[in-house]
Amino acid sequence: MGHYLVTGGAGFIGSNFVRQLLETTDNRVTVLDALTYAGNRDSLAGLPADRLTFVQGDIADPDVVNDLVATADVVVHFAAESHNDNSLRDPSPFIRTNLVGTFTLLEACRHHDARFHHVSTDEVYGDLALDDPAKFTPETPYRPSSPYSASKAGSDHLVRAWVRSFGVAATLSNCSNNYGPYQHVEKFIPRQITNVLDGGRPKLYGAGLNVRDWIHVEDHNAAVLEIIAHGRIGETYLIGADGEKDNRTVIETILRLMGQPTNAYDHVADRSGHDLRYAIDASKLRVELGWQPLYSDFEAGLAATIGWYRNNEEWWRPQKAAIEAAYAARGQ
Ligand code: NAD
Ligand code: DAU
C-alpha cells in the first residue's frame, strides 16, 4: 500500500484518476486542489473517506506543497489551468500554475525524494496538416501555439531538467483530447451535450474541420497508472487511442445520438491561432508497457457520456449559465 499525492484531483481527469485508483487498489490518496472555477469537490463524492484526504491549496505555495510531498510516496501532477480559450483572454494564471506550480512541486520532490509523474498534453507539439500522414511521437520537436500549450511545454522542460540535473525520479506523459464524465462544461463535448439538453444548439468554431484525437478519460488514466508502475524514469510516453475526428463530425454525432437533426448547430467565431490537427502515435506505450485502450468505440463512449450528463444535471447546472454568457460575449 502506498500514499499518492494527486494535484488537481478535483478537476476532470484528476477526479476520474482518484476514483480509478481508489477502486482498483488499496492505496491512500491525498488530493491537493485549489478549487479554481474548474475544480469541484462533488467530483469526489462517494469515495472512501478512510483512504481519501482533501486539501484545498495552491501548488505554487511552497509551504503547503512541502508538507504534503514529505508524506507522499508518489506525486501525480494533474493540476493546471487547462483551457486554451481562457489562456487567450488572460495568460497570467497559466504561467503561475503551470510553470511556477510545477517548479514548486519539483523542488519538493527533489528535497523529499518522491516519485513524480507529470501529466501533460499533445498540444506541446503544435499542430499537423490535415493531409499529413505523420502523427506526434516522443521525438517530435516542441512547437506550442497558445499561452496554454506554451506553459505546458515549459513545464515539461522543467521536469526533464530536474531529472537530469537533480536526479528527480520523474516520468512524463502527453495525452490527446479526453472525454468522459466530470468534464467542465466550458470544454467542447460537454458544452455541446449540455446545450442540447438545455434546448439550445451546439456551437462550432469556424468551419469545424479541426481534428482532435479523442480518448476516453479512463483509458488515459489506466495508461498513467501503468507508466507510474512500469515506466522508465526520465522517459516520456505519448497516450492516444487512434480516435481522430473533425469537430463537425463530433457535433453531428452528438446531435444524432441525442435524437436531433444533424444540421441543428451554429457556426460561431473561430479561436485565434486555432490548432488544425492533433494525432498521437502511442506505439511506445503499447509495445513497452502493453497498454491498450478499452474504449475503442468512440460512439459508444460518447453515448455513455451523454447519458452521464443527462443523469447528473445537478453537477453541471451551477456552471452553465455563466460559461455560456462568457462565450456569447465573445461571439462564440
Ligand atoms: P481541469 O481544468 O478540469 O482541472 C484542473 C484542476 O486543477 C482543477 O480541479 C483546478 O481546481 C486545479 N488547479 C488549478 N490551478 C491550481 C493550483 N494553482 N493549485 C492547485 N490546484 C489547481 O483540467 P483537466 O482537463 O482535468 O486536465 C488535467 C491535466 O491533464 C492538465 O495538466 C492538462 O494539461 C492535462 N491534459 C488534459 C487533457 C484534456 O483533454 N482535458 C488532455 C491531455 C492532458
Ligand atoms: O489535446 C489535449 C488538449 O485537449 C488538452 O491539453 C486541453 O487541456 C484540453 O482542453 C483540450 O484542448 P482543445 O483546445 O483541443 O479542447 P476544447 O474542448 O477547448 O476544444 C476542442 C475542439 O473543439 C477545438 O478544435 C475547438 C473546438 N470547439 C471548442 C468549443 C469549446 C468548438 O468548435 N466549439 C466549442 O464550443
Ligand 1 site, residue 82, Cβ cutoff 6 A: yes
Q: Is the pLDDT of residue 229 over 90?
A: yes
* Buried/exposed 92-106: b ≥16 CB within 10 Å, e otherwise: ebbbebbbbbbbbbb
Average pLDDT over residues 274-298: 98
Maximum distance among all Cα pairs of the chain, rounded to whole angstroms: 58
* Nearest ligand 1 atom to alpha carbon 77: 32
- Domain residue limits, the chain: 3-178+215-239
Closest ligand by atom to 119 CA: 1
Determine how β-strand 52-56 pairs with β-strand 28-33: parallel
Q: Can you give the pLDDT at residue 155? A: 99
In the reported structure, the alpha carbon of residue 204 is separated from the centroid of ligand 2 by a whole-number distance in angstroms of 11
Q: Can you give the pLDDT at residue 4? A: 98
Q: Can you give the pLDDT at residue 266? A: 98
Residue having the nearest C-alpha atom to atom 12 of ligand 1: 8
In the reported structure, the alpha carbon of residue 180 is separated from the centroid of ligand 1 by a whole-number distance in angstroms of 14
The average confidence (pLDDT) of the chain is 98
Q: Can you give the pLDDT at residue 134? A: 96
pLDDT in tens, 125-140: 999 999 999 999 999 9
pLDDT in tens, 23-44: 999 999 999 999 999 999 999 9
- Residues with catalytic roles: 122-123, 148
In the reported structure, the alpha carbon of residue 87 is separated from the centroid of ligand 1 by a whole-number distance in angstroms of 13
Which residues are paired to 244 by β-bridges?
Answer: 213
Q: In 10 A of CB 233, how many CB atoms?
A: 12
Q: Can you give the pLDDT at residue 89? A: 97
Q: Can you give the pLDDT at residue 95? A: 98
pLDDT in tens, 51-92: 999 999 999 999 999 999 999 999 999 999 999 999 999 999
- The conformational region for residue 273 under phi > 0 = left, psi -120 to 50 = alpha, else beta, is left
Closest ligand by atom to 185 CA: 2
Q: Can you give the pLDDT at residue 1? A: 72
Closest ligand by atom to 204 CA: 2
Per the listing, cell 501529466 goes with 119
One-character DSSP codes across 36-103: -TT--GGGGTTS-TTTEEEEE--TT-HHHHHHHHHT-SEEEE------HHHHHH--HHHIIIIIIIHH
pLDDT in tens, 140-161: 999 999 999 999 999 999 999 9
Q: Can you give the pLDDT at residue 220? A: 98
Q: Can you give the pLDDT at residue 44? A: 98
* Nearest ligand 1 atom to alpha carbon 152: 34
Q: Can you give the pLDDT at residue 272? A: 97
* Nearest ligand 1 atom to alpha carbon 39: 9
In the reported structure, the alpha carbon of residue 281 is separated from the centroid of ligand 1 by a whole-number distance in angstroms of 23
Ligand 2 binding pocket, CB closer than 6 Å: 82-84, 121-123, 176-177, 187-188, 191, 203-205, 210, 212, 247, 271, 278
* Nearest ligand 1 atom to alpha carbon 43: 9
Question: What is the rounded CA–CA span in Å between residue 233 and residue 202?
Answer: 43
Question: What is the rounded CA–CA span in Å between residue 159 and residue 238?
Answer: 16
Q: Which cell goes with 210?
A: 479541426
Which residues are paired to 136 by β-bridges?
Answer: 280
Cα dihedral angle (36, 37, 42, 48), rounded to 10 degrees? Answer: -20
Residue having the nearest C-alpha atom to atom 4 of ligand 2: 177
State the CATH class of domain 3-178+215-239.
Answer: alpha beta
Percent of the chain with pLDDT over 70: 100
Determine how β-strand 115-121 pairs with β-strand 170-175: parallel
